[in-house]
Structure 1
Amino acid sequence: MASSIAFLAAAAFLFVTYYSSSAKASDFNKDFEITWGDGRAKIAENGQLLTLSLDRASGSGFQSRKEYLFGKIDMQLKLVPGNSAGTVTAYYLSSQGPSHDEIDFEFLGNLSGDPYTLHTNVFSQGKGNREQQFHLWFDPTMDFHTYSILWNPQRIIFSVDGTPIREFKNAESVGVAYPKKQPMRIYSSLWNADDWATRGGLVKTDWSQAPFTASYRSFNAADGDDWVNQELDSAGQERLKWVQSKYMIYNYCTDSKRFPQGFPPECTLN
């Protein structure tokens, strides 16, 4: 365990060094708008910090003012601490309409002391059901960590602190739709999902712990040609394999009970 954490820490250090030198200071007032929550979402520290809160009456959410067609999106999050069972913090890219595209991070709350489940999914032309889930190698409630989505015409790469955890490749060659034509906004929300979020809905939200709060800072977006040909190098591929072997807890591409007639065709490429 110690060696695995050291390995990931070294990778994260390289990313943070690059990120710190290249990121522009974000201003949530300029880049985002609060869309719901009746005052439960707040922007503070001269636009440098955004918080979402959830209580028994309502959750809250925000969205980007800009749409993106390809790019690399970075956001630092600090998740709901303590007993967050039943809550979901969603951070994702999405277009609109019944044939929408979507790229998801969802953080499923837990009983105090249990690990968060990081849920990922990719939708193209309204079709999702491409879930992979992970436990993280750190406590995501103690400090801010960077969650990144790289999206270009060839692939989608999900990363945590610069360490890739998932790659979804363009599989149009085997008849699978790929999200490449619909611009997407960035969305985030904190909401109650205790009918399914924690242990399949067995553990309900403890409202005596409310309000639940998640925090955001250091947004950065590099769009257009900057990332259009980006891919994982050999070191990135090794880090990806390491994370998936140690921390992946669900992969739809290996769920034979769900796909008894054979796995979806993109699984041969991912």
Structure 2
Amino acid sequence: MDHEMHYFHLKKRRSFLLFIFMCITLKTALCFNISSTSTLTFAEAYSPLFSKFNIQRSSDDKTVNLILNRFSGSGIISSDYYNYGFFSASIKMPSEYTAGIVVAFYTSNVDTFEKNHDELDIEFLGNVKGKAWRFQTNMYGKGSVSRGREERYRMWFDPTKDSHRYSILWTPKNTIFYVDNIPIREVIRHEAMKGDYPSKPMSIYATIWDASSWATNGGKQKVNYRFEPFVTEFKDLVLEGCIVDPTDQLLSTNCTDQIDQLIAKDYSTITSEGRRSMKWFRERYMYYSYCYDNIRYPVPPPECVIVPSEREMFKTSGRLRNKMKFGGSHRRHRRSRDARRRISKGDN
């Protein structure tokens, strides 16, 4: 009986240590949450953007599948424009062979300000079977497409197995990109950015499309339609912000109270725990950053905060000094795996 009790307590202790490891090192949603948000049905939030025949809505209208096949991709657009806000969706990516495919969740006002548009992007890049999905974030302001502010990352999970929440916070002061509950990138508005910081009302988009010309290995791997249809699932739809007419000239006055409420939300400020999570992510999974690309930008753009632990990771091209294998991870992350093995063996 003593032996059984000892085994029980040892097993319980190992489970506790594994949980602590997941909280501190893996930063899972078990440990902290973005403040509660209200989800919407498709009809309350979005409208078809293109290829309605490739858009499938669930019976309760809370889930929408976007399909890419040999005929077309598909996309949806928010029914309203927002003057700043918090935009989120749980997304599950297509599986199998997905080379050449791009799934995007982003904000834009290109339909209203064609040559002067703002945009905030999260783009997911498919891959050949057995290789990890990658993704990138970007920011454009006032048509600044020649001054892209992209960062590129690899996933620390398989986005085809389960849905994961991806979010964009956009305020007059800062922009934060979230994956699940982890802030992976923050852009703080700097006066010297001028019009490069998005400031005009935007719609929210979700799309899947054929980007064979560039998405995978510079276009070497194309979409293979033998594996069609490619289906991406969107649910837990969140659109929070000030709904506006984009041609209204009094936007800031009309939305002052709602913008103040947005800035006061928990997810509008990164906590000390969030800072540790972001550092963990960026030092292990970011493989390109424009802030460290001294070839494109000999003088880093004004919003860039040069972090020494990140700086040492990158060449002057903004790419990693040590090549990252997309089935693996950074050298530093191997120590985390070693720690996990020690925990599983009961070593202290």
Q: State the TM-score, normalizing by the size of structure 1.
A: 0.91
Deviant stretches of 4+, over 6 Å: none
Deviation at 1:173, TM superposition (A): 3.9
| Contact 2:86–2:167 (CA under 8 A) maintained in structure 1 | yes
Deviation at 1:199, TM superposition (A): 0.9
Amino acid at match of 2:294: S
Match of 2:214 in 1: 196
**2:123 counterpart (106, 124, 136):** 106
| Contact 1:11–1:162 (CA under 8 A) maintained in structure 2 | yes
Deviation at 1:45, TM superposition (A): 2.5
Instruction: Report the Cα distance in structure 1 between the residues aligned to 2:134 and 2:290, rounded to whole angstroms.
Output: 15
- Structure 1 gap segments, 5+ residues each: none
Q: Does 1:79 align with 2:93?
A: yes
- Structure 2 gap segments, 5+ residues each: 1-17, 242-257, 308-348
Deviation at 1:136, TM superposition (A): 1.3
| Contact 1:33–1:63 (CA under 8 A) maintained in structure 2 | yes
Match of 2:274 in 1: 236
Instruction: Report the Cα distance in structure 2 between the residues aligned to 1:70 and 1:239, rounded to whole angstroms.
Output: 25
Which protein has greater RCO, CA pairs closer than 8 Å, 6+ apart? 1
1:66-145 pair list within 5 angstroms: 66-96=80-110, 97-128=114-145, 129-145=148-164
Match of 1:205 in 2: 223
Deviation at 1:38, TM superposition (A): 4.2
| Contact 2:140–2:196 (CA under 8 A) maintained in structure 1 | no
Instruction: Report the Cα distance in structure 2 between the residues aligned to 1:12 and 1:219, rounded to whole angstroms.
Output: 18
Match of 1:55 in 2: 69
| Contact 1:34–1:61 (CA under 8 A) maintained in structure 2 | yes
| Contact 1:176–1:266 (CA under 8 A) maintained in structure 2 | no
Pick the structure with more strand per residue.
1
Three-state SS of the structure 2 residue aligned to 1:197 is coil
Q: Does 1:30 align with 2:30?
A: no
Instruction: Report the Cα distance in structure 1 between the residues aligned to 2:286 and 2:27, rounded to whole angstroms.
Output: 20
Instruction: Report the Cα distance in structure 2 between the residues aligned to 1:154 and 1:117, rounded to whole angstroms.
Output: 28
Deviation at 1:176, TM superposition (A): 5.9
Deviations 1:145-202 (A, max 9, x none): 000111111110000011011111102246563112x111110110000110001111
| Contact 2:96–2:129 (CA under 8 A) maintained in structure 1 | yes
| Contact 1:158–1:165 (CA under 8 A) maintained in structure 2 | yes
Match of 1:264 in 2: 301
Match of 2:205 in 1: 187
Instruction: Report the Cα distance in structure 2 between the residues aligned to 1:179 and 1:153, rounded to whole angstroms.
Output: 8
Amino acid at match of 1:249: Y
Deviation at 1:262, TM superposition (A): 2.5
Same amino acid, percent of matched pairs: 34
Match of 1:248 in 2: 286
Deviation at 1:8, TM superposition (A): 5.8
Instruction: Report the Cα distance in structure 1 between the residues aligned to 2:87 and 2:193, rounded to whole angstroms.
Output: 28
- Count of residues in Structure 1 that have an aligned counterpart in Structure 2: 264
| Contact 1:174–1:266 (CA under 8 A) maintained in structure 2 | yes
Higher deviation after alignment, 143-152 or 32-41: 32-41
Deviation at 1:109, TM superposition (A): 0.5
Give the greater-gyration-radius structure (CA).
2
| Contact 1:72–1:151 (CA under 8 A) maintained in structure 2 | yes
Three-state SS of the structure 1 residue aligned to 2:83 is coil
Instruction: Report the Cα distance in structure 1 between the residues aligned to 2:212 and 2:47, rounded to whole angstroms.
Output: 27
RMSD: 2.1
**2:262 counterpart (204, 216, 227):** 227
